[in-house]
């Protein structure tokens, strides 16, 4: 038996576009799009069984930038090692997917680059309220954690005055799209994590992105045709 099960870029593309067509747009406190069943099950299995240990960071300052060297990206190295990473990156690099995201979210990804991060938070991890930097054309966070308390592990949402107003659902394989803006405050309040909070963050980033080692295809900009 082959394990993890195979998954193709074609299957990922079809599944994702179907989920995107059914997404729910919200305007409060800022514009987001909520998605369900974002990735096909075989891809979720492939990601969750990657032999990559979570980083043991100790006490953190509420940002991810302080441990950049310990973060995991679907870059050419990881794509070359794991079939599921290659298939996922190829799917989100495709013009059909980029075009659908451009039309749904009213963004202009052409000429930008694909960046996919595999995040594994453990107990002690937290993120202070922050806004996406303008170099991110769009951000999609996909939740791939599970367990009795994981429903409470979604992203925390804040209003224009940075007051906590709610939390995204932690439902498995659900996702939220954010667009960088002056009021797009979000974070992850400190709370116990019994297990590993696994998620994917998918971005199209602008051509001036400095850390090229984070990009899936550093020499292939996004095209819409």
Over the stretch 109-158, which tens digit does the pLDDT of each residue have? 999 999 999 999 998 888 999 999 999 999 999 999 998 888 899 999 99
My answer on whether omega of the bond before 220 falls inside 30° of 0, hence cis, is: no
Per-domain residue ranges of the chain: 9-214
CATH class name, domain 9-214: mainly beta
The structure's pTM equals 0.95
* Phi, psi angle pair for 177, to nearest 5°: -100, 130
Task: Tell how far CA 40 is from the center of its chain.
Answer: 15
Over the stretch 156-190, which tens digit does the pLDDT of each residue have? 999 999 999 999 989 999 999 999 999 999 999 99
């Amino acid at each position: 038996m082959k394990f993890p099960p195979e998954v193709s870029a074609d299957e990922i593309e079809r599944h994702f576009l179907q989920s995107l067509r059914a997404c729910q747009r919200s305007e409060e406190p800022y514009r987001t799009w909520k998605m369900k069943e974002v990735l096909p099950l075989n891809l979720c299995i492939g990601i969750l069984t990657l032999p990559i240990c979570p980083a043991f960071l100790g006490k953190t300052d509420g940002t991810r930038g302080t441990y950049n060297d310990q973060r995991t990206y679907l870059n050419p190295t990881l794509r070359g090692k794991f079939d599921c990473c290659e298939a996922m990156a190829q799917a989100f690099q495709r013009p059909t997917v980029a075009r659908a995201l451009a039309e749904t979210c009213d963004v202009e990804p052409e000429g930008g680059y694909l960046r996919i991060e595999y995040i594994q938070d453990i107990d002690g991890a937290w993120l202070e309220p922050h806004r996406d930097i303008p170099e991110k054309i769009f951000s999609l966070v996909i939740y791939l954690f599970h367990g009795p308390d994981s429903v409470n592990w979604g992203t925390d949402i804040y209003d224009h005055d940075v007051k906590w107003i709610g939390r995204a659902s932690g439902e498995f394989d659900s996702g939220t799209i954010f667009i960088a803006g002056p009021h797009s405050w979000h974070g992850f309040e400190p709370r116990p994590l019994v297990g590993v909070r696994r998620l994917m963050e998918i971005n199209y980033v602008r051509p001036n992105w400095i850390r090229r080692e984070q990009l899936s295809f550093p020499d292939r900009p996004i095209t819409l045709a």
